[in-house]
Amino acid sequence: MSVPKSIVRRYLKLLAPGTPLRAGIDRILHGGTGALVVLGNNNRVQQVCSGGFQIGVECTEQALRELAKLDGAIILSSDLSRIVAAGVHLVPAGDLPTAETGTRHRSADRTAQAAGVPVLTVSASMSTISLFIDGRRHVVETVPQVISRANQTLATLSRVVTRLSDLMDQFTALELGEQVTLRDLTHVVHRLELTRRLSAEMQFHADVLGVEGRMVAMQHAELASAFDGVAELLTEDYAANLEDPTEFDLTRLHNFAPEELFAAQLVAQRLGFGGNANLEQGLTTRGIRLLTKVGRLPSPLVTRLVERFSLQELFGASVADLMEVEGIGPLRARQIRDAMLRIAETN
């Protein structure tokens, strides 16, 4: 049974550079001593513990380094803020399955299975940090390794965001001409889902890098802002094309395999249009996404505008027509009118 990614991610984030736990682990590595650290304390942990010393002190990098010199394991509290015990001999059941051959790694693997908490090992000879969770070993990568993968992901995300931006411009032109088809919509949401996945992977790298990932985190934030909120706006614009608008849910694509995302018919089905939907059928938009380009329009005002005008009527609306909508005065009406003209001219 695979370990949920959220669990692994949580502990890798706690081991990110700049965190107290990682600072202590790095001190142990630099000191040339290994370590066995149990990341949590409960009754099951106590059942596999034998001997050692009850410590009960704050978990600091200095304390971790000094206590790692003792033979045996270090036991941390469940919130990882205190060192409960040190020099502990771990005695999990010997019949628990493990592929590990080294004494420390084998003990860590079986303890993690028996106690239900992660166990960390530091190998001085190999200069590696390993995290054992529920019978699986996760190697904690070095900062240069993670930065290299982060940069690769960032480059890929940049290309995909550029392509998504171009696709959205084309999509906007189709909306203005009332020519959007279901196939066009599936192309957009497919590219949007790819972007979301790459962004999530990039965020994971930034979390694991901790203080070392500030630069890539800033670059990622800039790229992510380009498509922030687009999924919600598309839902507001196109859910009304279904008999049951609640069926239109882009989160249903999150568990699609990569190859399934390229199948327009499958994407259309998952969005609620049915397995035999005609991909060339025309769709109508409420125009909410386009109105967000006007800038600083309150959400209630956008709602009133799309309820009062169709998209085509909105582009043809005069200042006087716009002023008939509650909350729109002469100045705002002219701003909306000028913005809609600019959108039409640029598309």
291-343 per-position pLDDT tens digit: 887 767 888 888 899 889 888 888 888 999 999 998 889 988 898 888 888 87
What's the CATH number where 180 sits?
Answer: 1.20.1260.110
Q: 316 lies in which domain range?
A: 288-345
3-state secondary structure of 39: strand
d(CA 187, CA 207): 31
> Are residues 149 and 130 part of one domain?
no
Task: Give the bridge partners for 85, in sequence order.
Answer: 54, 75
pLDDT above 70 for 174: yes
User: Is 294 inside a domain boundary?
Assistant: yes
Average pLDDT on 215-232 reads 92
Cα–Cα dist 117/148, whole Å: 30
Q: What pLDDT score was predicted for residue 246? A: 92
**Residue bearing tokens 């028996």:** 114
pLDDT of residue 122: 93
Q: In this model, does residue 179 exceed pLDDT 60?
A: yes
- Among 212, 240, 271, the domain-final residue is 271
Percent of the chain with pLDDT over 90: 61
Q: For residue range 252-275, list pLDDT tens digits in order.
A: 999 898 888 889 999 999 999 987
Integer Cα distance of 63 and 80 in angstroms: 13
For residue 173, is pLDDT > 80?
A: yes
CATH number (domain holding residue 331):
1.10.150.20
Q: Residue 94: beta bridge partners?
A: none
pLDDT tens digits for range 76-105: 999 999 999 999 999 999 899 999 988 899
Closest to 311 measured CA to CA, from 336, 332, 284, 334: 284
Residues 213 and 167 in one domain: yes
